[in-house]
Structures are given as C-alpha cells and as structure tokens.
Amino acid sequence: MSILIDKHSKIIVQGLTGKEGLFHTEKMIHYGTKVVGGVTPGKGGKKYIGVPIFNTVEEAVQNTGGNVSVVFVPSSFVSDAILESIYSDIHLIICITEGIPILDMIQIKHFIKRTKSNLIGPNCPGIISPEKSKAGIMPNSVFSKKGSIGIVSRSGTLTYEAAYQIMKMGYGISTAIGIGGDPILGMNIIEIMKLFIKDDETNCIVMIGEIGGKLEIEAVEWMNKLKHKKPIIAFIAGKTAPKGKIMGHAGAIIKNEIETAQNKIDIIKKNGAYVVDSPENIGIFVDQLLS
C-alpha cells in the first residue's frame, strides 16, 4: 500500500498553466501520475500538454472526478485556491507555494478541521509513492524504487537525500511526504505517522526534522505510548543554528531551549527512536536495523 495517494489518484493542478505548474506537471505525468485536469481562471476549455484546463476546481472535479489537488498558485491567491478545493470536496490538497501569510494559514487550519479534506504544506515538496503516483515537485530519478520505508520530513532537499541513501543500500520507499517548514502547517508529523502505522507495507519510518517547534518531540512521545510500534530513524538539522535566528524555513527558528537540535535529539532518543548524525548515514542505519 501507500498512504494518501496511490496509482488510482486523480490529480488536478491549480495553476497548471504557469511556469512552475507546467514544468512540474510534465514531470508528474512522466512519473506515471494521473493528471486529469488543470485549473486557471479564464483559460477554461484549453489544453496544455494534453491536460484539459477548467476555470474552477468545481468544474474540474465534475468533469474529471479529480480527488487530489496540487497548488502552484501565487502566494497572494493561495488562500482562495485552497478554500476552493475544500469546498469542492477534494480529499487531499498539496500546497507547494511558499510565502503564504501566517494569518491566512491560521484561518485555513481552523476551517479545514470541520471538513474531510487534508492539507499537505504549504511551502512543501509534496508527496510521492514510488511506482504509483507523485503529487508535487520531488525529483523522479531519486524515487525510483518502491519498498517498505516511509519518510516524513520538514525539509525538501533532505527528503531527497534520505531517499537516495536508502535506495543506495538496496531498499525502497513506501511513501515520502514533505510537510513543509512553515510555522502553520496542514497535516503534522503525528498525523502522518498514524497513517504509516496502519500501512502494512511500511516497516520503518524515517523522520527528518529541524530546529524550531515541537513537532518531532510530540511525534516520538506519541509513538512511544503505542503498544504496537514501528522503528523510527531520525535526523535533526540545525545543530549549529544560533538562538533566535531564522534558518531557511520560516518555522526553523529556536524560541525555547527545548527547540534546539541537541535537546530534540536527546528527547527523541529517550523515547526509543534512533538518531543519526548525518543524512548520509540514514541508509546505512536502515540496513543495520532491517537486515
């Protein structure tokens, strides 16, 4: 199995006709993803790279049966784009766009709780299940082999590095999800781990974290309370980051001592998870754990 998406997922791309949307839609199609429609107001009725374009998400859903939306809309319009997908009963919304105002995300987070929609992101690389489907911008070449290792990550590039190191050791990925690094996110690490726990084909979970926030801490504490667990291999980026300084992501800022990389590492270890000191050791540790 895979979580959230599979070979039957029907993808709609909001902002497909833009430069980034068009580029990554092509990559998704080449990966084997079922991209059934695009949405760009005013361009309905046209086709881009063989994909029909609609003026609204509602029209796209009615005509294609799309159930997953990937959002490449500019940040000033993203809030409306996400809400449009929610109102159209899209099951899974992946927001790639960065720079979304925090107030907009607070409002979306509050609203989406009352619906059946799930949101990944914003400011994220998306989700991929090798040999099945890709919804986002993850590089096709890295995720070439399906397997039993699940990845949940706050960092895009480290997600790719983890997958590469895992595959280099002969293992494959069940599903990889980049949740993004912004302060206000859609699905969090615990919500993703709950799905991995239920997935019979995921035997081990790799968690890529970073300084700032308590998502990783909350996740390992939750996992440690379960009767039936799955092993977690973690890497926490940002050991040398100075306190109070934003490093890369808007969410990667140390506010309290518990949010430093070292304190997160200590707490993760105390809760029974494994920690590697470098991304290049992830594949090696997976091999030691599962062989």
One-character DSSP codes across 137-195: S--TTT---EEEEEEEES-HHHHHHHHHHHHHTT--EEEEEE---SSS-SS-HHHHHHH
In terms of phi and psi (left: phi > 0; alpha: psi -120 to 50; beta: otherwise), the region of 122 is beta
Do strands 133-136 and 126-129 pair parallel, antiparallel, or not at all (unpaired)? antiparallel
Question: What is the torsional sign of CA 20, 49, 83, 197?
Answer: negative
Q: How far apart are CA 284 and CA 291, in angstroms?
A: 10
Contact 231, 291 (CB under 8 A): no
Active-site positions read: 249
- What size, in residues, is the chain? 291
Contact 4, 195 (CB under 8 A): yes
